[in-house]
Structures are given as C-alpha cells and as structure tokens.
Chains A and B, each alone.
Chain A
Amino acid sequence: SQTIHQWPATLVQPVGSPLSLECTVEGTSNPNLYWYRQAAGRGLQLLFYSVGIGQISSEVPQNLSASRPQDRQFILSSKKLLLSDSGFYLCAWSVGRLMWNEQFFGPGTRLTVL
C-alpha cells in the first residue's frame, strides 16, 4: 500500500535561518507531488508541484524553493526564513495525468518562525 511521510512533524526556526522539509512516498511510481501551505487564518495554498524528477512548477512567487532529486522524494527549502513563512506545510501525491486526481496528503509539518 502507498504511504507518504513528512518530517519533521514540528519545527521552530529563527528568522534568517535555512529550511529543509522532506517528503517521501512509498508504494507508487512516478507520482505527481505537491507542496501546500496552510497559514493561520488563510486557506490551503498550492506552492509547488512536480510531475517528474527535476521538474518543478511554482504556483506563487515566494521565499521558498522545491526540488525533486528522486522519483518519490520532494524537498521544500529556503535559504533565509521570514516570519511570514510560518504555517502548516502539507505534502501530497497523486498519480496519472487525467482530470480525476485524488490527492493523498501527508501528516504535515508545523513550522514556526520566530
């Protein structure tokens, strides 16, 4: 069966420090991978998606970047965190290229930037 892992579960970082959040998927091949952010008082926002290794699309301009070094690994990074980067980060995966696209979400990482 397929599973999705995210770590760490919680993270407290000072402003200006770097960030690396990792997401891995097991039990499926060539998944579409997604990073979402859920900020306090705001909805769920798609940050990045990837349809294959090394292929990253950014939905909104921001202080973050994403990379996909392996088929089932998706990394969210920042060189210098801002206060506004605080939020709940969710990784998700799906398969196929059709419009029907059930996405399966990981448990999330809660990031607090102080």
Chain B
Amino acid sequence: GEDVEQSLFLSVREGDSSVINCTYTDSSSTYLYWYKQEPGAGLQLLTYIFSNMDMKQDQRLTVLLNKKDKHLSLRIADTQTGDSAIYFCAETPNYGGSQGNLIFGKGTKLSVKP
C-alpha cells in the first residue's frame, strides 16, 4: 500500500534555510505536493512537482525530487517567523486516471526562532 513518511519536527533560526524531507513508497505516483497548515486553519497548497521533474523553484521554495530513492524535499530559503506551520507532503497514487486521491504524510512542524 501507499505510505508517506516525514520527520515530525524541525526547528530553525530566522534567516536560515529550512529543509523538510519526505519519503514515499508508491513508485507510480505522478504528482507530489507540499501543503502548509497554519495553526487552526485548513491546508493550503504551496507547490507541487510532476514526477518527471527533478527540481522546481518558486521564489523562496525549492522542491527536489529523487525518484530513484522516492525522496522529496522542500527547501525554504531565508525562513521567516511567518513560515512557522505544519508542512504536509502528499502524493497522488496512480489508480489509472481516477479522481486522484491524495495520500498525506503526518506532517512536519516547522518552528522558526527569532
């Protein structure tokens, strides 16, 4: 079955880079996502990467995908206190063109210290 694993906590200082890691098991996954959940709120899509890409950059965010090792990472440059949140990795398992349910990891809580 599908499984997505993430470390539960990460603490960084303001201005440093944050790297959140994720591993997944479904080698047929076509899209991988990073969602952000701020305290008491729903999830917000941050970025996504298609499985035939190795890297995607969007302003302060860089997503790296190692498909061979089934490893996904999210790098946040110049981390700010406003980046403090829980970050979820998710994948779309390949059900052959279904509605594309997401399989989420447990989330990594990022704490940014001033």
Contact = CB atoms under 8 A, between A and B. Distances in A.
A110 B42 CA distance: 11
Contact of A97 (B35, B48, B97, B107): B97
A101 B42 contact: no
Report the interface size class on chain A.
Answer: 20 to 34
B45 A106 contact: no
**Dominant SS among interface residues on chain B:** loop
A107 B40 CA distance: 8
B92 interface: yes
A42 B42 contact: no
B10 to A, nearest CB: 16
A46 B102 contact: yes
B43 A105 contact: yes
A44 B31 contact: no
Nearest to B8: A41
A5 to B, nearest CB: 11
Interface string B47-80: 0100000000000000000000000000000000
Contacts of B44: 105
Interface string A91-110: 01010111111111111101
A99 B100 contact: yes
Contacts of A101: 31, 92, 99-102
Contacts of B92: 99-101
Interface of B: 4, 30-31, 33, 35, 40-45, 48, 88, 92, 94, 97-107
Interface of A: 32, 34, 36, 42-46, 49, 51, 59, 90, 92, 94, 96-108, 110
The 3 closest A-B pairs by CB, nearest first: A43-B106, A101-B100, A105-B42
